[in-house]
Each structure stands twice: as structure tokens, then as C-alpha cells.
Amino acid sequence: MGTSVILAPLMEKIGKLKPVGEGSLPPGSAADGRTPTDPLEDGAIRADGRLDTVGLFCPIPIIKTGARMRGMDEGQVLEVISDDRVILVDLPNWCRGAGHEYLGCFEAVSEIHLFVKKRVRKPSPHPGK
Amino acid sequence: MTALTGIKALGLISGGLDSTLAARVLMEQGIEVHGLNFSTGFCSNDQRRALGRADEEPHRLRNEALRAGADLGIEVEIVPVEKDYFGIVVNPKFGHGAHMNPCIDCRIFMLRKAKGRMEEVGAHFLFTGEVLGQRPMSQHLAALQTIEKEAGLEGLLLRPLSAHHLPETLPERRGWVDRARLLSIAGRSRRGQLALAQTFQIAEFPQPSGGCCSLTDDTFSRRLRDVLDHQVPFEPGTQDPVLLKVGRHFRVSHQVKVVVGRDEAENQFLERLRGGKWCFEVPGAGSPLVLAQGDPDDDLRKLIAAITARYSSRRAEDSVEVQATKDDRIETIRVAPAADTYLEQCRI
């Protein structure tokens, strides 16, 4: 697992993530309508973890993503690699429900690389619950 | 919205309208909701995804439970249960429905699993979107009571949409949930749910008639029954259930079944499974890929070649050359295309 979270450059680069399959991205996707650029080109994005789900079909990549995220710290970024295009819909939906931040995606050699930032929980107003 | 702070409910979320509404009704009372969705290996959408048709629009194959969770703003956790679940498909205590669907056992199975997650999630009670009288097998009053009892959830299982037709539950008695704000929907009409959806401005939900469970599908169930009857190796959570959705299936002997691809996507899917198996094609013609499960002898290979010729573009010719391949072994078999009357007899 990588160690660096370069949040400022990451957020800057997220604005340049390449939309995969334009027109098929879900509303609200961070990648929607941004300038196509390979975000790894200059190494600005470093995920804290990488999950390779190539060859697996949703919902298996989502299940594996959930399990992996549980072991990560708040604010850390996971890169999910998949070749199932339905993940372009399912992963942002899962993030919206679970409160994680879907950062965007790019495509390279028929594989989709998607980035998810683990939610940062607000302090509970009801301690003990 | 009245806030009943600190109360948490765990619900079975399919992504259909009923479970979405049930969650929303509780959220309107300020109850925190966490969703569970079980991956059984028999979801039609999952199987279509695995087939990987290039022309499929991803939105049409999305996971509806995740979509519902996103719309509701709640976490929906997908739990893989394929192997355990297969046990109740094969041998359901309360029997099958019209096909291989073990609806009552299915509900009990999922609720038991959900009960096991309650403490971890910090949930006070469970809920479902079940509607009294909506489904003939699993949602009549006796079935709902059986399901609750068998799952070990007596009093702890709330069905918000039909609550007024059912005995008061523990969450209602304890004041965690305001019974007066629950509903009295019953029967097969969807009118009440659709009106409620409009009230809550829930616009996206799958049509109820479609259903996502392959086990309610006649053809799929027949093929699954054939697998069980002939002790074909079958592993849930792999490509095995997907294969039952793909192509035309013919049982040519007790030990051997053949699957005939119907289009390029199905041929490509079968191609991925061909290792160690006999495969048949008509070279230089429009041809299906035909995969044999089991080990066909010389006579059966001729028969399978005839089936292959029948579904090739040379079906009208008297004699067709078919190539049979198993790993490094290649045979050329010249046959007449199989007669449709024969095919109808062995079609699964």
C-alpha cells in the first residue's frame, strides 16, 4: 500500500480526470465533463491503496471495495481497477450512499481506474451511541 | 421530520420500490437506516453483466440496491452469500414456488443473516418492504408470521408498509417508531406505493413485474433442475449460473450436455470456458461455438457436430464439415445437420 496522500495536488488533478464513456457517467460524477488528461502522467495522484478487480463483475468489485475501505483510515484514497463498465454507475452510487467521496476515473488499456476517498466522520452529537 | 435520535434500523434493501419506501417511511421518523443486500448469485442483472455484451448500457445493468442507497442517502452493504444460499435453493424447507424459487426460505435465510449483523451495525430492529398479500407464496399473513418466527425475529421485524394490518412490534411498543405514522398498504395493487413514491418524490425504481431473480424464470429453472438431476458440477458465485443463461442447451446423454452460442457475445463467453472441453464450430461459415459439458464419445461427437451444423449458416446443406477441438486435439467430422424434431426432444 502506498503511503502518500497528496490531497491538494490530488484535488487539483481530479479536475482533469478523463471521463470514461462520456454520456454514460452518472450525474454528479466528479469526472463528468472534465478535461481529458491522464492523471498518472506526472504522478500527482497517489492512492493509499490499490484494488485490482479486473475479470470480476459488479457487485463483486463493490463488495471488495467495501471490505478494503473498512481497513483504511478516514481521508485515505483507494484506487479500484476494473474492466466491468457497470462500475462507472455502481461505484459512484455506492459512494453516495456510504458517504465516501467518488473522485473520478480514467481509462487505460481497457481497464478503468476509479478513485474513492474514505469518508471523514463528523463527531457524533450523541456520544456513546 | 420528528427526530427519534439514536434509533437505528437495519433493512433488507433490494432497490425495488417497496423496500425503498419502507426505508423512507422510517427515515421520515428520524430513524437512522442501514441497508443490507444479499448477493445470491441468481440475480439476472449480475448474470447479464458477467456475459459482458459490448452494447449493454451500464445504467441498465446497475445494481438497484446501490442506486436506492444513493437516492436515500443511506449505506447499502452488499453481502456475498452465494454458497450458503445455494443450499436452500437445492433443498428448501418450505418448498419451491412455481419454478426453482424458494421464496419463503429465501426470506428466512436473509433475515437470519441480517439478524446476525444487527449488533455489529448497532441496529435496534429489522425492517423489510414486504406488503401483506402482494406475493402469493411469501407475503400472505401466515407466511409473514412463519418467516418472522423461523428467522428468530418475533416482535423485532417491522414491515412499515403493512404495519397496520400486522400485530404491534417491539419497536412500536417501545416508542422507537410511531405506529400512527406507519402504513396500511395491502394486496397486489401498486397504487398505494406509487402515490407514496410521488409524495416522497421517488422517481427512479425498477418495474416490479420484471423481477431480478433468475430462479423465478422458467428456462433458467429447468436448466438448473437438469444440472441437479445429472449431478453436473455447479458452483454458485462462479460462471456456472451465468452459463445457464447463455445459449441453447441440449442434453444429448445422461453425462453430456451441449451449449450452443446464439450470437457473438455468447460465443465469446463460451470461448472463455472451453479449456479442457470439446468445442465445435463450422470453419469458414457463420457458426455458433458449441461447448460440450461432459466427455462425449465418438458417436456423441458426431451428434454434437450435427447440432453445430444445424445452427450454422450451412444448415440447408446435405453435408457439413465441422471442426471439433479439445485443447490440442482437433477432429474434422462431416455430418448432415440435425433435424429440428430431434433437437426439440433433447432441448433443456
Contact of B298 with chain A, judged by CB distance below 8 Å, is answered with no
A5 vs B153, residue with greater confidence: B153
The answer to whether the CB of A74 falls within 8 A of the CB of A104 is: no
Of A30, A58, A78, A112, catalytic: A58
Q: Do B59 and B197 belong together in one domain?
A: yes
Q: Do B265 and B158 belong together in one domain?
A: no
For residue B25, give Cα distances in angstroms to B201, B249, B290, B321. Answer: 13, 46, 51, 65
**Contact state of B67 with A126 under an 8 Å Cβ cutoff:** no
- Sorted by sequence, the CB contacts under 8 Å of residue B302 that are 6+ apart come out as B333, B335
A92 chain-B contacts, CB cut-off 8 A = 70
Contact of A36 with chain B, judged by CB distance below 8 Å, is answered with no
**Contact state of A62 with B78 under an 8 Å Cβ cutoff:** yes
The answer to whether the CB of B5 falls within 8 A of the CB of B48 is: no
Task: Sort strands B279-281 and B290-293 into parallel, antiparallel or unpaired.
Answer: antiparallel
Nearest to B32 by CA among B64, B73, B77, B78: B73
How many other β-carbons are positioned within 10 Å of the β-carbon of residue A35? 9
The tens digit of pLDDT for each residue in A58-117 reads: 899 999 999 999 999 999 999 999 999 999 999 999 999 999 999 999 998 889 999 999
Q: Is residue B237 part of a domain?
A: no
What's the pLDDT at A58?
Answer: 83
What's the pLDDT at B348?
Answer: 97
Q: The CATH number of the domain where B198 resides is what?
A: 3.40.50.620
* Position B183 confidence tier, pLDDT thresholds 50, 70, 90: very high
**Identity of residue B231:** Q
Which ipTM value was assigned to this complex?
A: 0.86
Chain A residue closest in CA terms to B67: A93
Q: Do B272 and B141 belong together in one domain?
A: no
Task: Sort strands A77-82 and A111-117 into parallel, antiparallel or unpaired.
Answer: antiparallel
Q: What is the C-alpha to C-alpha distance for residues B40 and B79, in angstroms, rounded to an integer?
A: 9
Q: Do B160 and B201 belong together in one domain?
A: yes
C-alpha cell of residue B117: 449483523
B67 chain-A contacts, CB cut-off 8 A = 89, 93
The answer to whether the CB of B135 falls within 8 A of the CB of B147 is: no
Mean pLDDT, range B169-175, rounded to an integer: 96
What's the pLDDT at B48?
Answer: 82
Model pTM score:
0.84
Q: Is the pLDDT of residue A19 over 50?
A: no
Q: Do B210 and B82 belong together in one domain?
A: yes
Q: Do B34 and B176 belong together in one domain?
A: yes
Domain that holds residue B165: 8-214
Q: What is the C-alpha to C-alpha distance for residues B307 and B336, in angstroms, rounded to an integer?
A: 9
Q: Do B279 and B149 belong together in one domain?
A: no
How many other β-carbons are positioned within 10 Å of the β-carbon of residue B156? 19
The answer to whether the CB of B343 falls within 8 A of the CB of B320 is: no
Q: Do B290 and B181 belong together in one domain?
A: no
A99 chain-B contacts, CB cut-off 8 A = 75
| Percent above pLDDT 70 for chain A | 60
Q: Do B178 and B84 belong together in one domain?
A: yes
Q: Is residue B223 part of a domain?
A: no
B57 chain-A contacts, CB cut-off 8 A = 24
CATH numeric code, A3-117: 3.30.110.40
Which letter does DSSP use for residue B274 in this model? Answer: -
* Position B310 confidence tier, pLDDT thresholds 50, 70, 90: very high
Query: Which residue is it, cell 437495519?
Result: B10
DSSP string over chain A: ------HHHHHHHHTTBPPSSTT-SPTT-TTTTPPPB-TTTTS----SEEEE-TT--TTHHHHHHHHHHHTSPTT-EEEEEES-TTHHHHHHHHHHHHT-EEEEEEEETTEEEEEEE---PPPPSSTT-
The answer to whether the CB of B69 falls within 8 A of the CB of B44 is: no
Q: How far is B72 from chain A (nearest CA, A)?
A: 7
DSSP string over B202-238: ------TTT-SBGGG-HHHHHHHHHHHHTT----TTT
Query: Which residue is it, cell 426505508?
Result: B23
The tens digit of pLDDT for each residue in B96-147 reads: 999 999 999 999 999 999 999 999 999 999 999 999 998 877 788 999 999 9
Q: Is residue B292 part of a domain?
A: yes
Closest partner residue to A97 among B52, B57, B73, by Cβ? B73
Q: What is the C-alpha to C-alpha distance for residues A65 and A104, in angstroms, rounded to an integer?
A: 15
Per the structure, the count of domains in chain B is 2
Which of B160, B192, B214 corresponds to the end of one domain?
B214
The answer to whether the CB of B243 falls within 8 A of the CB of B261 is: no
A95 is catalytic: no
Q: What is the C-alpha to C-alpha distance for residues B304 and B259, in angstroms, rounded to an integer?
A: 10
The tens digit of pLDDT for each residue in B46-78 reads: 888 888 777 778 888 899 999 999 999 999 999
Q: Do B81 and B165 belong together in one domain?
A: yes
Q: What is the dihedral of CA B82, B83, B84, B89, to 10 degrees?
A: 80
What's the pLDDT at A13?
Answer: 44
**Contact state of B63 with A86 under an 8 Å Cβ cutoff:** yes
Q: Do B108 and B172 belong together in one domain?
A: yes
Q: Do B209 and B261 belong together in one domain?
A: no
Residue spans of the domains in chain A: they are: 3-117
Between the two ends of chain B, the Cα-to-Cα distance in Å is 55
